[in-house]
Chains A and B, each alone.
Chain A
Amino acid sequence: MDWNPLFLTFKLALVTTLLLFVVSIPLAYWLAYSKSKGKPILEAIVSLPLVLPPTVLGFYFLVAFSPNNAFGRWLEQWFGVQFVFSFTGLVIASILYSLPFMVHPIQSGLSSISPSLKEAAYVMGKSRWETLTKVLLPNIRPSLLTGVVLAFAHTVGEFGVILMIGGSIPGKTKVASVMIYEEVEALNYDNANFYSGILLVTTFVILVVVYLVNGGYLKRFFK
């Protein structure tokens, strides 16, 4: 019974979701409130991972970070990093891949708040940051939760991109989805079944707990 891939999957999903949360809030804020003419372009870019086949993203990633190409070479020379075959690379790819799942609900939530709430806070002398953290975000908790849950679940299920750039290294990039795929390939259907079942049950339990907690405990925590 190899638990490593499962731990790796959830570690990846957790790290990705946390970082995504931080990155997505400014992005969603801008998209919700900006009247700039460039907005449709940024919106399209953010939505791209929704329609792009994961293998395309994985392919571009492989090419971009390849040490035989300019960008990858620059990374290697200046920072000594290589993102392909590393957990960090998976996190970066997952952040890009799950971006719309976090940004869209938050953007939607922010747009649905009456603009007078923001204005009232400004007239009270509150800075944009204080308004965001004390007025806006606390009032879109369901949207924030949706974003977090979707991004997390999406990353748990990620396969195509990880397959392209992970290298299936046990303990580093061999996540549950890749392992299950390999077991199926090797015709070890019993194993595949077992690991799939665990993944399904664990994810389901996490989701149930999150939705239960959303009602009561989370409110107190956010104060």
Chain B
Amino acid sequence: MIEVQIRKELMGSEGKMILDLNLRVEKNELVALYGASGAGKTSTLRILSGLMRPDSGKIVVNEEVWFDSEQKINRKPQQRQLGLVFQDYALFPNMSVKQNLEFAATRAPSNHLEELLEIMDLHQLAHKRPLTLSGGQQQRVALARALAQRPKVLLLDEPLSALDQPTRWRLQDYLQEVHKKFQLTTIMVSHDSNEIEKLANTVFLLENGKLVATGKPNEILPATPHSVGKVIAIEQEKNRTLLTVDIQGQKIKIALPVSRADHIQLGQSISI
């Protein structure tokens, strides 16, 4: 469980901005920090991880005080047990994928790494250098590395923004899987409302450094018109999958790229 009450004066591109937050994340929740650029989302993550020091406030994580300006407590990032995935991945170019994970995992048991490589599908790439990998592969390594140290809390700073749609979808599935499997509490910064809708339990909406709304994704996010229907037929073609969907009596045929459709089954409800 994470409690954050902090205040910090920031210099933005538009001038001064006061980041003033009071939020609470329950254990095992996957929450999204949502808002326009410059709203203070990344700064919030940096403050939580100890890379930025708030002017005043208190941060308590799992009953441990990480920051308290009155008591003059400020735990260094090294002492805060969390995993952080940076927007630019921050993979160490001088180490292979496996070495990157090993470097992070000095405090964790070794079979854990094998498990991670397995889950994130990184076995083939274990001995490659990060710079030789594609964006999606680097992203998986960054995520695996953040998890290698067995954190209880995972912070993600727009982890999927630089990737193409199919890769995003795949990685969103990975995220969900590891979040459940490792029983994490996850805070994710994202711009993508579809992504948030798919993954998050709770959304914090930030505007100009202030928390203006909290709630479920469908309560907070701008509504996109959609319909729900049932898949009644699936046809495989060479490069695509054709779905026949029954939406309230109407039959519609939809073409999807194979990768996108490969986990859809007959009888499944989908929203379009």
Measured CB to CB, the residues of A under 8 A from B are 114, 116-117, 119-127, 134-135, 138-139
Contacts and interface: CB of A to CB of B under 8 A. Distances in A.
B159 to A, nearest CB: 13
Interface stretch (B55-63, B86-94, B112-120): B86-94
B136 interface: no
B149 interface: yes
Given A119-B77, A134-B103, A124 B90 contact: no
A115 to B, nearest CB: 9
28 contacts: A114-B88, A116-B86, A116-B88, A116-B90, A117-B90, A117-B92, A119-B49, A119-B51, A119-B77, A119-B86, A120-B92, A121-B92, A122-B50, A122-B76, A122-B78, A123-B49, A123-B78, A123-B84, A125-B78, A125-B79, A125-B106, A126-B103, A127-B78, A134-B103, A138-B94, A139-B92, A139-B93, A139-B94
Given A124-B103, A125-B106, 6 more contacts: A114-B90, A119-B84, A120-B86, A125-B78, A138-B94, A139-B93
B107 A125 contact: yes
A126 B78 contact: yes
Given A117-B90, A139-B94, A123 B80 contact: yes
B99 to A, nearest CB: 10
B32 interface: no
Q: What are the 6 closest A-B residue pairs judged by CB atoms, nearest first?
A: A120-B90, A116-B90, A138-B94, A122-B77, A116-B86, A123-B84
A120 B90 CA distance: 7
Interface of B is mostly: loop
Nearest to A137: B94
B149 A135 contact: no
B92 A123 contact: no
B208 to A, nearest CB: 25
Contacts of B104: 124
Contacts of B51: 119, 122-123
B156 interface: no
Nearest to B52: A119
A124 B51 CA distance: 12
Contacts of B106: 125
Determine which residue in A119, A124, A125, A135 has the highest number of CB atoms from chain B within 10 A of its CB, and name it.
Answer: A124
B82 interface: yes
A119 B92 contact: no
Contacts of A123: 49-51, 77-78, 80, 82-84
B53 to A, nearest CB: 13
A204 to B, nearest CB: 30
Contacts of A126: 78, 103
Contacts of B50: 122-123
A123 B51 CA distance: 8
Contacts of A139: 92-94
Contacts of B80: 123
Contacts of A134: 103
Contacts of A135: 92, 94
Nearest to B149: A124
B145 to A, nearest CB: 8
A219 to B, nearest CB: 9
Contacts of A124: 78, 103-104, 149
Interface in B24-53: 49-51
Nearest to B46: A119
A116 B90 CA distance: 6
Contacts of B77: 119, 122-123
A114 B92 CA distance: 10
A120 B101 CA distance: 12
B166 to A, nearest CB: 26
Nearest to B81: A125
B79 to A, nearest CB: 8
Contacts of A114: 88, 90
Contacts of A125: 78-79, 81, 106-107, 149
A210 to B, nearest CB: 20
Nearest to A131: B78
Given A125-B107, A139-B92, A120 B78 contact: no
